[in-house]
């Protein structure tokens, strides 16, 4: 395990535990807690075993695992921006 993995896993663990705490205290909804905990766990798996993203990207016809992660990040941001736009429009 390299230095980046150790630091990233520490940050992801803190975020995961924070998400669980916020969910337990009802400061965020169950759906939000589940979503963010899932994101943290997925990121931790990709950090621990980066070859999994490479294998998945090859199956999807994308060249590299890093490209797959980038594409998924862009799609997630677009969905987030759309969701925020709808909420602001509703207000």
Q: Using the 8-state DSSP alphabet, how is residue 27 labeled? A: S
Average confidence (pLDDT) over 80-84:
95
Domain boundaries, the chain: 3-90
* 65 Cβ neighbours under 8 A, 6+ residues apart: 46, 50, 51, 52, 53, 54, 55, 56, 57
Among 54, 51, 50, 45, smallest CA distance to 13 is for 45
Average confidence (pLDDT) over 58-79:
94
Question: pLDDT (tens digit, 9 = 90+) per residue, 18-47?
Answer: 999 999 999 999 999 999 999 999 999 999
């Amino acid at each position: 395990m390299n230095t980046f993995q150790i630091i990233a896993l520490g940050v992801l663990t803190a975020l995961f535990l924070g998400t669980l705490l916020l969910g337990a205290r009802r400061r965020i909804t169950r759906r939000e807690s589940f979503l963010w905990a899932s994101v943290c766990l997925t990121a931790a798996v990709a950090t621990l075993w980066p070859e999994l993203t490479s294998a998945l990207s090859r199956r999807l016809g994308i060249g590299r695992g890093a490209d797959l992660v980038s594409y998924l990040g862009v799609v997630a941001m677009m969905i987030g921006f759309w969701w925020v736009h709808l909420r602001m429009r509703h207000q």
